[in-house]
Amino acid sequence: MSAPAERPRGPRAALSGAALSGAALFGAALFGAALSGAVGCDDAPPPLPAARPASPAGTQGGGGAPGGAPGGAPGGALGGAGAPGGAPGGAPGGAPGGAPGGAPGGAGAPGRLDGLPDAPAGAPQLALPIAPEDVALMRPHPIIGVDHEPGGGVRTQCRDHHERAFPFCYDEHEGSDLILEGGFVTMDAGSARVVAAAAGRVTRVEDGHYDRCHADLLSADVTCDGRPVVANRVHLAHAGGWETRYLHLRAGSVRVRVGQEVACGEALALVGSSGYSSAPHLHFELRDDLGRVRDPFAGPASQPYSLWVDEAPAGAPPATATTSALPAARCAP
């Protein structure tokens, strides 16, 4: 089946400044940049179109950015359906916890810790794409998620999987942004390792681009200090035509090559701030066999089941109207 035409993408809201690590300053910078009309996601953002058609339910488009700007590449750099590849989570169609895939709305699989229903047969089961030992380096709140209500040209108008508005999302955001706690200080100290969320095959690699891009509060935009605004990235193809994308990686940190088969949890690179990114973070994006962006989080605006192995670790507080939690960093059995 051929992939549908890409939905037009407009400017994104630039989020908080690279040097601003506090949650309050982060939110203030993001809000100010959004109101000013600054862009904040694509490597080369296009002008805002007069009108944007809504995407099908559960699908969206675009790169993301923490602290300030999401950063995928427009069109060819971020577009394209995933090629068939390795099996997600080690078993095609395996439901969370290793049980066979069930229908949406079914009882939680035995291996799940979050109590959510099984995903459909053939859907990937994803681990948090951060090495378990490095999860403490990532900020659990906020996770800037997929926008399920794109359009209108208002940067702060959005709806994430949990029906929450900005700053849990922003207009036309196409992925989940996981923010590195401590920003460039943590990045310079070694950063956090980005790992494969499921078993698959490497289909695209970009490395070597400037990785200290940051928000410029005076212009309410993102700058790469005069260098090309291009994100370092890795794309993986999974069973059934699903694809995961990992953007804004640290320069020189990519450990894989195109065509390489990787296991769930295998190291890919380090969190950085390359491309249209206002601060160090990982933009994680999931696409289905038609090339449509899918939100891995369960919720009233996405789907009743989660595409994470566990949407929240055992003992973690559930997401609320004002908080979020990182999914578990464990692969499907």
Strands (DSSP E) found in the chain: 59-60, 138-144, 176-180, 193-195, 200-206, 214-216, 221-223, 233-237, 243-247, 261-262, 267-270, 281-287, 293-294
Provide the sign of the torsion angle of the four alpha carbons 182, 183, 185, 187, taken in this order. positive
**Which of 33-42, 95-104, 181-190 comes out lowest in average pLDDT?**
95-104
**Which of 53-62, 102-111, 293-302 comes out lowest in average pLDDT?**
53-62
Full-model pTM: 0.72
Find out whether 301 and 319 touch, Cβ atoms under 8 Å: no
The mean pLDDT value for 81-94 works out to: 33
Question: What count of Cα atoms within 13 Å lies in the side-chain half-sphere of residue 315?
Answer: 0
CA distance 8 to 52: 6
Helices (H), 145-214: 183-188
Find out whether 327 and 116 touch, Cβ atoms under 8 Å: no
**CA distance to 115, 146, 169, per residue, from 128 (Å):** 17, 16, 19
**CA distance to 7, 102, 115, 203, 296, per residue, from 327 (Å):** 28, 21, 13, 25, 10
Q: Is the pLDDT of residue 50 over 90?
A: no
CA distance 27 to 203: 35
Query: Helix, strand or coil for residue 36?
Result: helix
**AA identity, residue 107:** A
- The proportion of the chain whose per-residue pLDDT surpasses 90, expressed as a percent, equals 51
Q: Is the pLDDT of residue 106 over 50?
A: no
- Kindly report the length of the chain: 333
Kind plus residue range of the DSSP H or E element containing 156: none
Instruction: Give the pLDDT confidence score for residue 43 in this predicted structure.
Output: 45
Q: Is the pLDDT of residue 303 over 90?
A: yes
pLDDT band at 177; cut points 50, 70, 90: very high
CA distance 220 to 213: 13
pLDDT band at 193; cut points 50, 70, 90: very high
CA distance 200 to 239: 7
Instruction: Give the pLDDT confidence score for residue 333 in this predicted structure.
Output: 85
Q: 73 or 252: which carries more pLDDT confidence?
A: 252
Residue 299: phi and psi, rounded to 5, are 170, 170
